[in-house]
């Protein structure tokens, strides 16, 4: 990470794409460092797009009983909000490091916009994804009349001294069987899905391009290509 003068950055958000699979512990270290730099006004806000090797994370509200298979994948306790979730190849993780003091210190609005980011991304691929009261994340109703829904996008954020980190996880084409070792986000009665499972054969690169355009519209911020 290179510290730079942001006085002429025109309020652009650094858009950083990580190639390959990023180890989770290393990602947390880098996020924390970037969040500190943003807080000190040494770096602009950033969106960091990554994929992780298969793993589970346990948020601050995680219930030990929801970890169904402790041996399936490594488990990382993390300071983000939420319960257990899965990360792995084929899932686009978007870490958003943003100074919320520049957004009226409104955490609720920030989370709403993260949700909207995924909803509009899914809509671009003709997938109807929705918020649900009492259930964190973004959900797709099944078409079988069962009334059940499947999660396509997860949210887990942390805010420290008004700078956010962690973010979203959007299922493009992960191995959905990998979710079987947990009760995702503590919701046992519904399932998980992905664009591919819904018949959308989009590449990660295609999804990234849509996510970037949607992000700029939802957050009303331009993005600038950068490394993380």
Q: Is there a contact between 219 and 13 (Cβ–Cβ < 8 Å)?
A: yes
pLDDT band at 185 (very low <50, low <70, confident <90, very high): low
Question: Strands 130-132, 135-141: parallel, antiparallel or unpaired by DSSP?
Answer: antiparallel
Cα–Cα distance for residue pair 154/214, rounded to 1 Å: 17
Least confident window among 32-46, 49-63, 90-104, 192-206: 49-63
Exposure b/e, 112-137, CB count within 10 A at least 16 = b:
ebbbbbbbbbbebbebebeeeeebbb
Give pTM, 2 decimals.
Answer: 0.92
- Collapse the DSSP code of 219 into the 3-class scheme (helix H, G, I; strand E, B; otherwise coil) and give the result: helix
| Selected residue with higher pLDDT from 84 and 214 | 214
pLDDT digits (tens, 9 = 90+) for 193-217: 999 999 999 999 999 999 999 999 9
Residues 27, 50, 185, 211: which is the catalytic one?
A: 185
pLDDT band at 8 (very low <50, low <70, confident <90, very high): very low
State the DSSP string of 67-136: B--TTTS-EEE-SSSSSEEEE-TTEEEEEEE-BGGGGTT-HHHHHHHHHHHHHHHHHHTT---EEETTEE
DSSP tag of 67: B
pLDDT digits (tens, 9 = 90+) for 114-172: 999 999 999 999 999 999 988 889 999 998 888 899 999 999 999 999 999 999 999 99
Q: Is there a contact between 34 and 6 (Cβ–Cβ < 8 Å)?
A: no
* pLDDT exceeds cutoff 90 at 175: yes
Average pLDDT over residues 27-38: 96
Specify whether 185 is catalytic: yes
pLDDT band at 53 (very low <50, low <70, confident <90, very high): very high
Structure tokens at 71: 């041996």
Rounded (5°) CA angle 59-188-87? 45
Q: Is there a contact between 24 and 49 (Cβ–Cβ < 8 Å)?
A: no
Average pLDDT over residues 95-121: 96
Cα–Cα distance for residue pair 122/101, rounded to 1 Å: 29
Model pLDDT, residue 7: 39
Cα–Cα distance for residue pair 97/199, rounded to 1 Å: 32
Cα–Cα distance for residue pair 20/44, rounded to 1 Å: 24
Structure tokens at 67: 């970890």
- Return the H-helix or E-strand segment holding 34: helix 24-39
- Looking at CATH, the fold of the domain delimited by 13-218 is given as BirA Bifunctional Protein; domain 2 (3.30.930)
Structure tokens at 172: 């493009």
Mean pLDDT (the chain) is 91
């Amino acid at each position: 990470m290179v510290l730079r003068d942001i006085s002429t950055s025109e309020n652009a958000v650094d858009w950083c794409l990580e190639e390959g699979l990023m180890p989770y512990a290393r990602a947390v270290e880098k996020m924390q460092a970037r969040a500190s730099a943003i807080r000190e006004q040494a770096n602009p806000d950033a969106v960091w797009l990554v994929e992780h090797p298969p793993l589970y994370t346990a948020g601050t509200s995680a219930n030990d009983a929801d970890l169904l298979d402790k041996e399936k994948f490594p488990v990382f306790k993390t300071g983000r909000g939420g319960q257990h979730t899965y990360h792995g190849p084929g899932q686009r993780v978007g870490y958003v490091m943003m100074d919320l003091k520049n957004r009226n210190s409104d955490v609720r609005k920030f989370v709403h916009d993260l949700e909207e980011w995924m909803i509009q991304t899914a809509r671009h691929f003709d997938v109807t994804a929705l918020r649900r009261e009492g259930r964190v994340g973004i959900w797709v109703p099944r078409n079988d009349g069962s009334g059940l829904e499947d999660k396509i996008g997860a949210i887990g954020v942390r805010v420290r001294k008004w700078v956010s980190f962690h973010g979203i996880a959007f299922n493009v084409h992960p191995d959905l069987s990998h979710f079987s070792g947990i009760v995702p986000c503590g919701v046992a009665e519904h399932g998980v899905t992905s664009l591919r499972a819904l018949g959308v054969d989009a590449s990660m690169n295609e999804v990234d391009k849509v996510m970037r355009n949607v992000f700029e519209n939802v957050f009303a911020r331009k993005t600038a290509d950068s490394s993380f």
